[in-house]
A and B are shown apart, each in its own frame.
Chain A
Amino acid sequence: MRYLLWRVAVFVAICIPPAIWLNRAWALDLGPDPGKALVDLFGLGTLVLLLITLAMTPLQRITGWAGWVHVRRQLGLWCFTYASLHMLGYGFFILGFDWAQLGVELVKRPYIIVGSLAFLGLLTLAVTSNRYSQRRLGARWKKLHRLAYLILGLGLLHMLWIVRADLKEWAIYAGVGMLLLLLRVPVIARRIPRRVYRKPAAATKV
């Protein structure tokens, strides 16, 4: 497998934040409402991972290094994993697994509806992320996976409705997201200087 070390490094790096969070929750270091804190952390983590995932293609174009896209699928799946834990935490800590209440929330709260749609989107992409689906869907696969842009929009809207008094943090994420989407507009994408990555000259002559 190419870039094995790089892939493993990314894998490990993404395992670290949840390990730290869980440890802090365990050590009563997340305050008196650790459940809510975990839900928030995983929610924010999902957004950050989505932004990182969407940054891989532009990064490859700009730097010419192919390693970026080799971790793209892994990052997307991680994003889905964080989102799942975010949902699980919400169900357990906030709803107390009260299914009737979940029904009410799903009907009445726009931010829950938007968040759930985003999760369904991530689920769809996660399920179709394997080679088999790629082969089966053919050209449609790429179209389907453009859903990621819509999911980003839904996620940002979901967060905007939760922010109550200070938009600074949200504005930063929204700005990065906007930039990443702009880099995909064909007119702009064409202007990005493409650099071809060359391997350092080998020491021995062939």
Chain B
Amino acid sequence: MLIKIPFASACKESDVTPESIYLSRRAVLGASLAGFAVSALPSWAQAADPSRYADVEAGKAPGWFSDKLTSTKWQAVTVQNEAITPFKDATHYNNFYEFGTDKGDPAQNAGSLKTEPWTVVIDGEVAKPGRYALEDFMKPYQLEERIYRLRCVEAWSMVIPWMGFPIAALLKQVEPTAKAKYIRFETLQDPKTMPGQRSGFALIDWPYVEGLRLDEAMNPLAILAVGMYGRELPNQNGAPLRLVVPWKYGFKSVKSIVRISLVSEQPKTTWQSIAANEYGFYANVNPTVDHPRWTQARERRLPSGLFSPNIRPTEMFNGYGEQVASLYTGMDLRKDY
């Protein structure tokens, strides 16, 4: 007899989706189907792929993305007893300094980002380096929906349904050599479309760089995402390709990736280069190690009401300790924060 023992952080669909969202999803579905029946748009087959969350702004999904929706594993990973952050908040409260430092700037300015065509370079210590058009890059992978908590180093948090695939699957394709110890990610650098990169007062040395130890990247929770809330990534959320590492602070999850390199040395990552005493390379969510300017023991789960601030305790590894704590056995996480 096969006995399946799920992780404590896993749960069934019925546990996670709030009923109101589930019901409104039906309303949205019904309404959109009715709309299509009336107008009978020629593109209905593509557009009829249901948006599964309430109030999701329809995007303009590229063909390769829409094609993958039919084979997508929905709700592959979920969270327990948590409400999913409304789409509007997840897309209008962003840190994406390439488009400005205010939380609303990315939503306002990221329209200028051109995500088609998009090229991804794979290089460094790999048997199969290459330069791919995004649709070719994505070909081997089946999309999975992963509902993860996102904990920002600034002490706010959200719950977001991502769509992507494990980095482990990519590594299997590109075959890292024995020298590969770390994986390095680089964001697009294009001052023409990224106003933040034009600022003369920026402290960031563009392009934005992040990285993981190879075994961290191999962990099944670490994914490369191309979608969220059942649609392709909006520009301000790091379209068309971004990293999502749910047990680390949000700044590790680099956006709009153009280059992935396997390297032998620990990469010089952006925030660590700016302020090493505030932002470490590991940046694991850790309530016992404070940011020098604020406590990390608690977080504001957004949306936070004006008269009922939604403050809650932060969990070690953002609640994913069962899956990732073993990566760090023998390490002093106070030193390697």
User: Chain A: residues with CB nearer than 8 A to chain B?
Assistant: 25-26, 31-36, 38, 92-94, 96, 101, 104-105, 108-112, 161-162, 164-168, 171
Contacts and interface: CB of A to CB of B under 8 A. Distances in A.
A162 B278 CA distance: 12
A149 to B, nearest CB: 25
- Chain A contact surface mostly: helix
Contacts of A93: 304, 309
Contact of B92 (A25, A31, A168): A31
A105 B280 CA distance: 21
A36 B311 CA distance: 12
A26, A38, A105 interface centre (most CB from chain B within 10 Å): A105
B93 A33 contact: yes
Nearest to B155: A94
A15 to B, nearest CB: 20
Interface stretch (B57-65, B124-132, B142-150, B196-204): B196-204
A33 B302 contact: yes
A166 B303 contact: no
B255 interface: no
Contacts of B306: 25-26, 34-35, 38
B203 A92 contact: no
7 contacts: A32-B89, A32-B92, A34-B304, A35-B300, A109-B292, A164-B101, A166-B196
A111 B311 contact: no
Interface of B: 85-86, 89, 92-93, 97, 101, 103-104, 156, 196, 199-204, 274, 290, 292-295, 298, 300, 302-306, 309, 311
Given A96-B311, A104-B295, A105-B295, A33 B156 contact: yes
Given A92-B309, A108-B290, A165-B204, A33 B199 contact: no
Contacts of B199: 166, 168
Contacts of B309: 35, 92-93, 96
Contacts of A165: 97, 101, 202-204, 274
A206 B309 CA distance: 67
Contact of B97 (A33, A35, A161, A166): A166
Tell which of B199, B202, B302, B306 has the most Cβ of chain A within 10 Å: B306
Contacts of B203: 164-167
A49 B4 CA distance: 63
B304 A33 contact: yes
Nearest to A26: B306
A33 B295 contact: no
A32 B93 CA distance: 7
B293 A31 contact: no
A150 B292 CA distance: 24
B290 A32 contact: no
Contacts of B93: 31-33
Contacts of A164: 101, 203
B24 to A, nearest CB: 18
Given A109-B294, A162-B293, 9 more contacts: A33-B93, A33-B103, A34-B304, A93-B304, A109-B292, A112-B293, A165-B203, A166-B97, A171-B201
B53 to A, nearest CB: 16
Contacts of B292: 109
A81 to B, nearest CB: 20
A112 B295 CA distance: 12
Contacts of A112: 293
B209 to A, nearest CB: 14
A110 B290 CA distance: 13
B204 A32 contact: no
A109 B89 contact: no
A187 to B, nearest CB: 30
A33 to B, nearest CB: 5
A36 B303 CA distance: 11
A167 B97 CA distance: 13
Contacts of A34: 304-306
Given A25-B306, A171-B201, A31 B103 contact: yes
B176 to A, nearest CB: 32
Contact of A166 (B201, B298, B300): B201
